[in-house]
Structure 1
Amino acid sequence: MKKNFLLSILSSFILFSCSPTKNATEKDNIVSADEPKTEISENTTSQNSKPAVHTVAFYNVENLFDTEDDPNTYDEAFTPTGKQKWTTKRYQDKIEKLAKVISTIGDEDGAEIIGVCEVENEKVVKDLVNNPLLKKHGYKYVHYDSPDERGIDVALLYKESVFEVTSSKNYEAKLADNDKTRDVLLVSGKLEGEEINFIVNHWSSRGGGEEKSRPKRMVSALVARQIVDDLEAKNPNAKIILMGDFNDEPFNKSLTEGLQAVDSKDLKGKELFNAFYSLQKEGKGTYNYKGDWNMLDQMIISNGLLTNTTKGFHYLDGNIFDKDFLKEASGKYKGNPFRTFVGTKYLGGTSDHFPIYVHLERK
């Protein structure tokens, strides 16, 4: 089926809309959407020092819920009396383990910027960045509530010492039959003074089967693609990183046709570079389903971060962060992500996904 025909079918299947722009604002150790922004001091990193390399990461943190019942969402399972028996002790243990990952991902200093998904609300994000392992690094965040029926959202965490948020905006992807999914989050800012844009995604799951659920992910793909088009219309060399749990593989149409993401740095037209396509071809993945590795978590890079004609930061490399402390240590599932739950059985692991990261180098 040709791309135009596919998009024409989808346009009759979906309703697409973008929520109004909201500016990122800041209070204490948070960035939220409701209060006046406080100016962030200029970064003091010397422009004449050795080439800067920064880590940008993404992590599906597997159901980071607080322990309280929100009457507006389906979160009852994650309460002390719910079927997951989600107690304060379990919650705090998970926060501690996630903070350890973020503080070590990519290199010994942790990721400077990290997108996360499956966070319930602003409270859990705030609790995460206020953990001592992260607080000492001065992490702040951008978060918006999304219309997801379970109440799970995406967010972006960042070290204020190297990244200044200049704007943020959440885009709602409206599905057919009033179905709900997560917003797509755009955060723009200056990494050591250079404008870079981050687009955080968590597309609809494959519930009901891959084929039946496919149009939902294409909706989010088209939302994200429109964000890229808008950014590149203003600046053809815009530096953009899309990150997320796409719930699709790099070869699926939502990515190859919706986002136009390919396995090549030699981009043509509006193409983007999928930095994790080659790893998928090697049989690697971030999520294991019935013994098969799936590359559901990916980062996708714009031409502005690849071309040698632009100065400043460029894409250097990328990989899966799959250290032994994140894996099942023994048994049938040895080597798989050590997850928090299997069904309602509590295992006490960190997440059912491995995080991913890329390095950006300033030449």
Structure 2
Amino acid sequence: MQAKYKRYTIGFYNLENLFDTHNDPQVLDDDFTPRGRKNWTEKRYARKLKKLAKAIGQIGDDKGFGIPVLLGLAEVENIRVLKDLLHTGGLRNQDLGYVHFESPDERGIDTALLYHKKFFKIKQTEVLPLLIYEEDGERDYTRDILYVKGHLNGEPIHVFVNHWPSRREGDEETAPKRLEAAKTLKRKLEELGQTEANPNLVIMGDFNAGPHADSVNALMEYPALYNPMKKLLMPHRGSANYKGEWSLFDQIIISHSFFDHVPGTHSFAHADIFDERFLTEWKGRAKGSPFRTYRGRKYLGGYSDHFPVYISLKWNP
């Protein structure tokens, strides 16, 4: 396929609990119902969809790259919320598709991939289950890793969307779970390396760990990978802020193949955090932090507790 634009945006966005308002007895979504602790009404749901659609439509656009051709998502409840999102605001005018599988996560939150149908063609989709167990032998049901193989402007590319296990029970206590996620993904990369020479890899997600964490470093032991996000984390900048401390759990990792400037391929051009002012809190102690939907039980009406992150790829004619 002939590429129309010189630059293409690939992004990732943790949407902070994008639940519909219906109670699903199979998952722990009771808080996000009209009578639940969050008082999650249709009006609030529609407002969040509108805000997220606005944000997604502008990711990377401060550089003039246009709407993302690929966008990984975390914390989506089901297919319904994806369909509702794609029919909201400016997104309804875009030719966007999605890939989503229900995961065994006990909260009912999944990963997904949005893609621009004009530029990306799906060839294969699958999930990589995370088989993680507690000390008592009980399985910890968490998000699967979403794997999508496709062609971006005719060039083969392998995309992995991650949402690694939470740190809610403590960083050290949960670190082995994220390390197992890294090992699971690494095994898949090794499998691909046996069947395809120098594959194009895009690994994105909320890793619940920063660029220098042991789990991310374990993944980076796979020699083909490069993490352009390492340079973005600063004392006063990141993708999320907890109690005044910035983190960069949201990352996009790519293969070194994107540094080969070969005609008819894409090469890496830029990486950034999309932290435009409209996505931030404008005043108070949280000024500059992501304008989130809730702080605890208090409804704020914002976008998400995470900023999107993105990379841009340049088309080599």
- Bin of the TM-score, shorter chain as denominator length: over 0.9
Distance 1:132 1:284, change over 3 A: closer
* Unpaired runs of at least 5, structure 1: 1-42, 262-268
How far apart are the structure 2 equivalents of 1:134 and 1:307? 33
Q: Give the structure 1 partner of residue 11 of structure 2.
A: 57
Count of residues paired in the alignment: 309
Kept in 2, the 8 Å contact 1:243–1:297? The answer is yes
Q: Give the structure 2 partner of residue 76 of structure 1.
A: 30
The normalised TM-score by structure 2 is: 0.94
Deviation at 1:271, TM superposition (A): 4.4
How far apart are the structure 1 equivalents of 2:236 and 2:255? 25
Q: Give the structure 2 partner of residue 319 of structure 1.
A: 272
How far apart are the structure 2 equivalents of 1:116 and 1:189? 17
Q: Give the structure 2 partner of residue 287 of structure 1.
A: 240
The answer to whether residue 86 in structure 2 is matched with residue 129 in structure 1 is: yes
Instruction: Name the amino acid aligned to 1:357.
Output: Y
Match of 1:173 among 121, 127, 130: 130
Q: Give the structure 2 partner of residue 353 of structure 1.
A: 306
How far apart are the structure 1 equivalents of 2:245 and 2:22? 35
Q: Name the SS for the 2:303 alignment partner.
A: coil
How far apart are the structure 2 equivalents of 1:231 and 1:101? 34
Kept in 2, the 8 Å contact 1:99–1:133? The answer is yes
How far apart are the structure 2 equivalents of 1:163 and 1:54? 11
Kept in 2, the 8 Å contact 1:217–1:254? The answer is yes
Q: Give the structure 2 partner of residue 298 of structure 1.
A: 251
How far apart are the structure 1 equivalents of 2:103 and 2:93? 29
How far apart are the structure 2 equivalents of 1:80 and 1:103? 28
Q: Give the structure 1 partner of residue 207 of structure 2.
A: 246
Q: Name the SS for the 1:104 alignment partner.
A: coil
How far apart are the structure 1 equivalents of 2:161 and 2:67? 19
Q: Name the SS for the 1:215 alignment partner.
A: helix
Q: Give the structure 2 partner of residue 13 of structure 1.
A: none
The answer to whether residue 43 in structure 2 is matched with residue 89 in structure 1 is: yes
Q: Give the structure 2 partner of residue 213 of structure 1.
A: 174
Instruction: Name the amino acid aligned to 1:285.
Output: G
Kept in 2, the 8 Å contact 1:250–1:277? The answer is yes
TM-superposition CA deviations, 1:194-215 (whole Å, max 9, x none): 1111100000110111000001
Percent of pairs with identical residues: 42
Q: Give the structure 1 partner of residue 220 of structure 2.
A: 260
Kept in 1, the 8 Å contact 2:240–2:307? The answer is yes
Instruction: Name the amino acid aligned to 1:196.
Output: I
Instruction: Name the amino acid aligned to 1:125.
Output: L
Q: Name the SS for the 2:232 alignment partner.
A: helix
Q: Name the SS for the 1:211 alignment partner.
A: helix
Kept in 2, the 8 Å contact 1:304–1:310? The answer is no
Aligned runs of 1:329-340 on 2, under 5 Å? 329-340=282-293
Kept in 1, the 8 Å contact 2:235–2:246? The answer is no
How far apart are the structure 1 equivalents of 2:263 and 2:193? 14
Q: Name the SS for the 1:277 alignment partner.
A: helix
Deviation at 1:311, TM superposition (A): 5.4
How far apart are the structure 1 equivalents of 2:88 and 2:37? 27
List structure 1 runs of 4+ shifted beyond 6 angstroms: none
How far apart are the structure 1 equivalents of 2:45 and 2:262? 48
Kept in 2, the 8 Å contact 1:237–1:310? The answer is no
Q: Name the SS for the 1:276 alignment partner.
A: helix
The answer to whether residue 116 in structure 2 is matched with residue 159 in structure 1 is: yes
CA RMSD between the two structures: 1.6
How far apart are the structure 1 equivalents of 2:234 and 2:306? 18
Deviation at 1:229, TM superposition (A): 1.6
Q: Name the SS for the 1:105 alignment partner.
A: coil
Q: Name the SS for the 2:57 alignment partner.
A: helix
